[in-house]
Amino acid sequence: MGTKKTAISTAAAGLTALLLATGCSGGSDDDGEGAGDERAQPRPVISEGQARKVLERYVETNNAANAALDRKALGEVEGGALYQQSQAQYRQFPTYEKKYQSLYKKPFRYRADEARYYLPARGDWYMVDAPVEGPGYDEGDRSLLVFQRAGGGTWKNVASVGIQGRIPEVARGDGGLPTVLPADTEVGATALDGLDDAVNDLYVSGGKKDGKVLADSEVRRNMVKDHSTRRDWIRPEHDGYFETEFESENRKWDDAYKPAFPDVYALRTADGGALTVFNSYDARVDFAIRPGFHIIPGDATSLYVKEKEPLGVREYYAVQNAAHVPDKGKVQQLGGEVEMIGAS
């Protein structure tokens, strides 16, 4: 996580120059000391005070790591698909424009005292809805974060999605704590663990298949635009010489780029639906279809593809998503953070 990215558009990177370790409180313990049949109130996986310290430490460590492009230091506070994206940014940093390089190393912060903490009683993760400020951010910008417990009781930020629109009200259960929904839960007609397929379809078919469950939104329109403009790089005189298609995650991918973090994090909402953060993976494939023609990888893509003029290039993208899945009606996308994580 660093300077705000234009993260809901993949951009054709391959064809242009490119473009806190802290203790946690226990779960719902029944100490048997209550009167009669009364049970002890459930406790969150982490207290709000501790969660605030985790967030503050994350910002401090992240800013220092970004300034030095220090992957090891960043790995102390980041994990999952977020860290996967950040490592890709560090590797591609030399290809960024000088102005963006300067912005990237400038500090940002989440306003921890103003954040909303969604701390369930069970599990190994929690969500934070935090105001964010820094280079490239506008007044009022917020991010939905997921922190997950790693080894030694350390909490790492594994997801960070810039939010567009309003986050739905989260339902409160016993003790006023949010309720975690398993990844295989079906909310209305929507399977939470199938949301990644819906997002991928926006790139693959323009949303004509699995993507039909996603309501109209700026996030959806930007993703569909990547599909509809995928061939714009091809000059009119070269029509019929080259092609571009998107792929959903599949077995053809090199092992290094097969989805590593197909995680779904979900909380029950007051309307009977779900607030979700989930990862999806897709690939953009640019290839020549006429003998004698080749693809010239762009600056960032050439870091991964050593052949100077291959017949085709497959760029791999990791997408962090946030969405509201209502009990009835279509899924509302709240944000999407896209990063090219490799190519072959």
Strands 312-325 and 332-343: antiparallel
Q: At what angle do helices 195-204 and 218-228 cross, to 10 degrees?
A: 40
Q: What is the pTM of this model?
A: 0.89
Residue 80 near residue 277, CB atoms below 8 Å: no
What pLDDT sits at residue 260?
86
The set of residues, in sequence order, having a beta carbon less than 8 Å from that of 216 and lying 6+ positions away, is none
Q: How many CA atoms lie within 13 A of 201 on its CB side?
A: 13
Please state the length of the chain. 344
How far apart (Å, rounded) are the C-alpha atoms in residues 323 and 326? 9
What pLDDT sits at residue 174?
84
DSSP H or E run through 129: strand 125-133
How far apart (Å, rounded) are the C-alpha atoms in residues 247 and 252? 10
pLDDT digits (tens), the chain, 344 positions: 554 443 344 433 433 322 233 333 333 333 334 444 456 789 999 999 999 999 999 999 999 999 999 999 999 999 999 999 999 999 999 999 999 999 999 999 999 999 999 999 999 999 999 999 999 999 999 999 999 999 888 999 999 999 998 999 999 998 999 999 999 999 999 999 999 999 999 999 999 999 999 999 999 999 999 999 999 999 999 999 999 999 998 877 888 888 889 999 999 999 999 999 999 999 999 999 999 999 999 999 999 999 999 999 999 999 999 999 999 999 999 999 999 999 99
The set of residues, in sequence order, having a beta carbon less than 8 Å from that of 317 and lying 6+ positions away, is 10, 281, 282, 283, 284, 338, 339, 340, 341
* DSSP output for 232-247: TTS-GGGBTTEEEEEE
Burial of residue 306 (CB within 10 Å: 0-12, 13-18, 19+) is exposed
How far apart (Å, rounded) are the C-alpha atoms in residues 25 and 46? 5
What pLDDT sits at residue 96?
98
Neighbours of 97 (CB within 10 A): 11
Residue 323 near residue 331, CB atoms below 8 Å: yes
The set of residues, in sequence order, having a beta carbon less than 8 Å from that of 272 and lying 6+ positions away, is 187, 326, 327
Q: How many CA atoms lie within 13 A of 129 on its CB side?
A: 17
Among the listed residues 328, 330, 332, 320, the one whose alpha carbon sits nearest the alpha carbon of residue 196: 320
- Collapse the DSSP code of 309 into the 3-class scheme (helix H, G, I; strand E, B; otherwise coil) and give the result: coil
β-strand partners of 190? 187
Neighbours of 1 (CB within 10 A): 27
What pLDDT sits at residue 1?
59
How far apart (Å, rounded) are the C-alpha atoms in residues 254 and 289? 22
